[in-house]
Amino acid sequence: MTTTTAFSTEDVEFIRDFRIMGQFGSTENGGVDRQAATTPDGEQRRWLAGLLEGRGFTVTSDRVGNQWGLYEAVPGAPFVVVGSHMDSQPTAGRYDGAYGVLAAAHAAFRLVEQWNAAGPDGRPRFNIAVVNWFNEEGSRFKPSMMGSSVYTGKLALETALATTDAAGVSVRDALDAIGCRGDYEGPDAAFCAEIHIEQGRSMEREGITIGLVHSNWAANKYEFVVNGEQAHTGSTVIADRKDALLGASMMVVAARELADRFPGVMHTSVGQLTVYPNSPVVVPSRVNLLLDLRSADEGVLAEADALLHRRITEIERMANVTVERSHSHSWPVTPYQPEGVELAAKVAADLGLENKPVMTLAGHDSTNMKDIVPTVMLFVPSVDGISHNEHEYTTDEDIVAGLAMLTEVTNRLCNGALEPVSTAGETAP
């Protein structure tokens, strides 16, 4: 990892803005709570808009709440989309997603200054768009990566806007409440780049500053409803009970047993349980739970998925319950464009940054974007691999190195480094 502490004036400004950004929705333990379309989310969006507008960017929101900062250096040309997300989990760290948005903004500021200083001969081939994707985390509204899914056509706009949170508030109403639902269609994207913390510890352990993401793990995500029968916890005979929570608990254990069966190559979890009626003296009649399976090996994922569903049949019998399955969403193992990974490797070498190819275990908005345009995904290290936790941390040295990396990658994208070239040596139409 990077060890230098000699920061430039631009680097100091970036670190200062990062500290300011962490104040929106701040928690007592040093993290943030700014779930999608909440008041803190609206406050941080207005702050970001001011930052962008102060540097000559036009800021607008699209119909699903993605926030765009646009700089049109070449009128009519497509845009290089750079950014991440600023929404968070209920008690989260300051780096996840938000670092990538602010790094994109500061990278764009640096490039615009370069273009302006160079004059007409220094104009890029493509424009630049800084993006703050809506509801990447999926903690308030499901599914995750909602904003980029709508932008890329994977999720219908009206389906997203009609989605409700646990309190029954729709995405449409929540965005309107903070004034962040616009009528913009989104820019015409040519390329995309995103930088993010690793959310793991492999890079820190190996002394790597930049991760070159070449592919994502596959994932199957489910929402299960375990149906039982409400009864008195004191007087109902055990043999007569149809305990939905018992069935749900057995599913939690089953998921962990799958991870243990495929050590190191399978991750499973149950991240949310909603118990009804959730009374101390009532046998629960219904439990909703979200369960996911992830692996880099699609064969292992398919085998684990089949084992899970066979186990659910056994759980229904053992717990005397029924289980409804709703497939939330899934994605396969898909590579990022090799030419983008190669470009990033060249930039890292030119900047003297230790780097290596890595996979992403988590989903990111770039995993959607790579399906429609060539996309570069970068990681910086996470100290101790801590993430989705208030103690999440990445050193200033590493976030500054990541900013330098993103700036140069974006610079080369804006200048057409990944444009297809004809056999005659001219840019293909």
> What string of DSSP letters covers 73-124?
SSTT--EEEEEEE----SSB-SSTTHHHHHHHHHHHHHHHHHHHHH-GGG--
Picking from 91-105, 338-352, 382-396, 411-425, which range would have the lowest pLDDT averaged per residue? 411-425
* Dihedral of the alpha carbons of 222, 223, 227, 233, in degrees to the nearest 10: 110
pLDDT per position as a tens digit, 278-334: 999 999 999 999 999 999 999 999 999 999 999 999 999 999 999 999 877 788 999
pLDDT class of 5 with cuts at 50, 70, 90: low
Residue where the block lists tokens 């029954």:
168
- Amino acid identity of residue 413, one-letter, is L
Report d(CA 160, CA 150) in Å as an integer.
8
* One domain for residues 152 and 237: no
Query: CA-based angle 50:410:110, to the nearest 5?
Result: 45
Provide the H-helix boundaries in 152-209: 157-162, 171-177, 202-206
Q: Are residues 168 and 251 in the same domain?
A: no
Nearest to residue 111, comparing CAs of 344, 407, 427? 407
End-of-domain residue from the set 303, 331, 359: 331
Q: Six-digit token pair at 78?
A: 């497509």
Return the number of other C-beta atoms located less than 10 Å from residue 323's C-beta: 20
Clarify whether residues 121 and 180 are in a common domain: yes
Mean pLDDT of 125-133: 98
Domain encompassing residue 46: 9-217+333-414
Q: What would the pLDDT profile of 217-263 be if each residue is shown by its tens digit?
A: 999 999 999 999 999 999 999 999 999 999 999 999 999 999 999 99
**Residue 332 backbone phi and psi in degrees, to 5:** -85, 175
The dihedrals phi and psi of 210, each to the nearest 5 degrees, come to -125, 125
Pairing of strands 79-85, 58-61: unpaired
Both 207 and 87 in one domain: the answer is yes
Reply yes or no on whether the pLDDT at 16 is more than 80. yes
Which residue among 331, 353, 368 closes a domain? 331
Residue 120 has pLDDT above 90, yes or no: no
Does pTM surpass 0.75? yes
Q: List the one residue out of 306, 276, 305, 301 whose CA is nearest residue 289.
A: 276
Are 275 and 292 in a shared domain? yes
> Are residues 246 and 160 located together in one domain of the fold?
no
For residue 3, what pLDDT is reported?
47
Per-residue pLDDT for 24 more than 90?
Answer: yes
Same domain for 275 and 395, yes or no, is no
Has residue 422 got a pLDDT over 60?
no
pLDDT for 367 beyond 80: yes
Which of 331, 360, 391 finishes a domain? 331
Which of 175, 188, 151 has the alpha carbon at shortest distance from 366?
A: 151
Confidence (pLDDT) at 186: 97
Does the pLDDT of residue 1 top 90, yes or no? no
CATH number at residue 310: 3.30.70.360
Percentage of residues of the chain with pLDDT beyond 90: 93
The alpha-helical segments, DSSP class H, found in 141-181 are 146-151, 157-162, 171-177
Average pLDDT rounded to a whole number, residues 20-48 = 97
- Find, among 351, 358, 355, 343, the residue nearest to 409 by Cα: 343
Please compute the mean of the pLDDT values over residues 359-365 and round it to a whole number: 91
pLDDT, residue 362, reads: 86
pLDDT band of residue 121 (cuts 50, 70, 90) is confident
Question: Which range, of 129-138, 187-196, 266-275, 324-333, averages the lowest pLDDT?
Answer: 324-333
**126/155 same-domain check:** yes
Mean pLDDT of the chain: 95
Predicted pLDDT of residue 427:
43
Residue 424's pLDDT is 41
Check residue 423 and give its pLDDT. 42
Structure tokens at 73: 């250096």
Q: What is the mean pLDDT of residues 74-81?
A: 97
The per-residue pLDDT for 429 is 39
Whether 311 is in a domain gets the answer yes
Burial grade of 264 (CB within 10 A; 0-12, 13-18, 19 or more): exposed
What are phi and psi for residue 333, nearest 5 degrees? -70, 120
The verdict on 108 and 174 lying in the same domain is yes
| Residue 33's pLDDT band (cuts 50, 70, 90) | very high
Contact in structure between 353 and 321 (CB atoms under 8 Å): no
The confidence band for 169, taking pLDDT boundaries of 50, 70 and 90, is: very high
Domain membership of residue 420 (yes or no) is no
Whether residue 407 sits in one domain with residue 356: yes
